[in-house]
Amino acid sequence: MTNKRTAIHVKPREGRRARAGAPWLFSNEIDMTAKTLAPGAVVNVVGDDGRVFGTGTFNAKSLIAVRLLDPAADIVLDAEFFAKKLKRALALRETLYAAPYYRLVNAEGDGLPGLTIDRFADTCVVQITTAGMEALLEPLLAALDETLQPENVVLRADAPARSLEGLELYVRAAKGNAGRIAVEENGVRYFADLEAGQKTGWYYDQRDNRAFLASLTRGKSVLDAYCYTGGFALAAAHAGAKDVAGLDSSTPALGLAQEAAAANNLTCKFVKADVFEELERLWAARESFDVVVADPPPFVKSKKDLEPGAKAYRKLARLAASVTAPGGFLLVASCSHNIPLERFLSECAAGILRAGRSARLIRQSGAAGDHPTHPMLPESAYLKALVYTLD
């Protein structure tokens, strides 16, 4: 005999997005009499008309109070459940990539809200951002072991989003050890620090954009602003760029970039600098580059930052365009999901115009295929990358 699972009731005529297939219910859409449930409790979700929304996890502390994991009620979220989801996620990546370096799980996009897993061969970095997923850590890790038998599993439970769910922050190895590893991408060997690096240690999302940008750089000079551990810069150098410089404010990231340059026998100059200040200086000195990349940290961290953040993107596009040579290429990226694509496009256009340049937009893209999005959550496709050629 099992105990009957708590049912969460969707209010009459509420839950419009969930009725259309989205995996979220907001706290104002449901009957919150269940708010005494432990954060992350597994629940059934039903409508007033008896309609079943499915099995989900509940957290009264979060605005997104329910996250659905399955369209049927009473689904047991055990290791078997997770193994099925992980195998489905793995099958997609094995189709996309020849080598075992990719984002293995992209949260709602892979049917697992609150969970991302980046795979670096036999090491997995697990990032959990919801109380629901945190409470399911044990069956999840058992399923990961069964599916991939990784040697090392690192828990990066230090994303700021965890505080919205009332979760503590920590970083630890659940298996083996964490630390520095090599990443292979587009024929280049990079290094990442999985414990102390940003996010999971490596940005797989830019993989296809790095490859495209690199294809434009043979024999060219390249400036990679916000280079982190050398993602774009080394891809360009590997593709035959003749003069490559990277800028970043993080000393450890620049150290890994430099080491990766040496490991690949490539020559790149990595400089510690504030990008806005350095671009102003280069502009004043009338220096320019054939190809410029500007891939900054998120300028719009929350909805209320939209106006100042949008202005910062405009300024960045202006300064980056100012140091792009005539006939050159400029890539500007945003990883803020709080700025819509249309707005980002118009700010970049305004910045380039303000620099006195005319441009053609030649490519508009997002994250690579290992970052699937739930079709009903288009806003979770946070990454936008625009490539222009400038006269």
Binding mask 261-290 for ligand SAH (x = CB under 6 A): -------------xx---------------
Q: Which of residues 139-168 bind ligand SAH (CB under 6 A)?
A: none
Tokens found for residue 82: 């997770």
> Does 120 engage in binding with ligand SAH (CB under 6 A)?
no
The number of beta carbons lying within 10 Å of the beta carbon of residue 364 is: 12
Give yes or no for residue 308 binding ligand SAH (CB under 6 A).
no
User: Amino acid identity of 314?
Assistant: R
Q: Would you count residue 252 as binding ligand SAH (CB under 6 A)?
A: no
Kindly name the residue from 124, 268, 335, 348 that is annotated as catalytic.
Answer: 335
Residue closer to ligand SAH (CB basis): 112 or 247: 247
Say how far apart CA 229 and CA 192 lie, in whole Å: 7
Q: Interface with ligand SAH includes 295 (CB under 6 A)?
A: yes
Helix 231-238 × helix 251-263 angle, to 10°: 20
Count other C-beta atoms under 10 Å from residue 335's C-beta.
Answer: 20
Q: Please report whether residue 388 would count as binding ligand SAH according to CB under 6 A.
A: no
CB closest to ligand SAH, residue no: 231
Beta bridge partner(s), residue 101: 120
CB of 224 vs ligand SAH, minimal distance in Å: 7
Structure tokens at 180: 């520095």
| 82 versus 299: smaller Cβ distance to ligand SAH | 299
* 226 touches ligand SAH by CB under 6 A: yes
Give the DSSP H or E segment for 93.
helix 79-96
In Å, how far are 303, 348, 367, 371 from 339, measured between CA atoms? Answer: 8, 12, 15, 19
User: Measured from the CB of residue 223, what is the shortest distance to ligand SAH in angstroms?
Assistant: 12
| Residue 71 Cβ vs ligand SAH, minimum distance, rounded to whole Å | 36
Segment contacting ligand SAH by CB under 6 A, of 90-98, 147-155, 223-231, 367-375: 223-231
Count of residues making up the chain: 391
- Smallest distance, ligand SAH to C-beta of residue 331, A: 10
**Contact with ligand SAH (CB under 6 A): which of 232, 313, 344, 388?**
232
- Residue 79, burial from CB neighbour count under 10 angstroms (0-12, 13-18, 19+): buried
Query: Least distance in Å: CB of 93 to ligand SAH?
Result: 19
Check binding of 348 to ligand SAH (CB under 6 A).
no
Instruction: Verify binding: residue 118, ligand SAH, rule CB under 6 A.
Output: no
Pairing of strands 180-185, 152-157: unpaired
Considering CB under 6 A, how many residues would be counted as binding ligand SAH? 18
Assign 174 to helix, strand or coil: strand
372 binds ligand SAH (CB under 6 A): no
2-21: which residues touch ligand SAH (CB under 6 A)? none
Q: Which stretch binds ligand SAH (CB under 6 A): 24-32, 36-44, 294-302, 324-332?
A: 294-302
Q: Report the first-to-last Cα separation within the chain, whole angstroms.
A: 73
DSSP state, residue 249 = S
> Position 208: which residue type?
D
**Binding ligand SAH by CB under 6 A: which of 228, 270, 313, 388?**
228
Q: Are 317 and 352 in contact (CB under 8 A)?
A: yes
How far from the centroid of its chain's Cα atoms is residue 294's Cα?
16
For position 336 contacting ligand SAH by CB under 6 A, the verdict is: no
From 250, 346, 365, 380, residue interacting with ligand SAH (rule: CB under 6 A): 250
**What's the min distance (Å) between Cβ of 31 and ligand SAH?**
42
In the region spanning residues 189 to 208, those forming contacts with ligand SAH, defined by CB under 6 A, are 198, 203, 206
Question: How far apart, in whole angstroms, are the C-alpha atoms of residue 134 and residue 218?
Answer: 46
Among 27-35, 171-179, 225-233, 355-363, the segment contacting ligand SAH (CB under 6 A):
225-233
Q: Name the helix (H) or strand (E) containing 291.
A: strand 289-294
Among residues 62, 303, 17, the alpha carbon closest in space to that of 167 is found at 62
Our answer to whether residue 335 is catalytic in this structure is yes
Strand ordering across the sheet containing 115-120:
101-106, 115-120, 123-128, 152-157, 170-175
For ligand SAH, the binding residues (CB under 6 A) are: 198, 203, 206, 226-228, 231-232, 247-250, 253, 274-275, 295-297
Supply the residues annotated as catalytic. 335
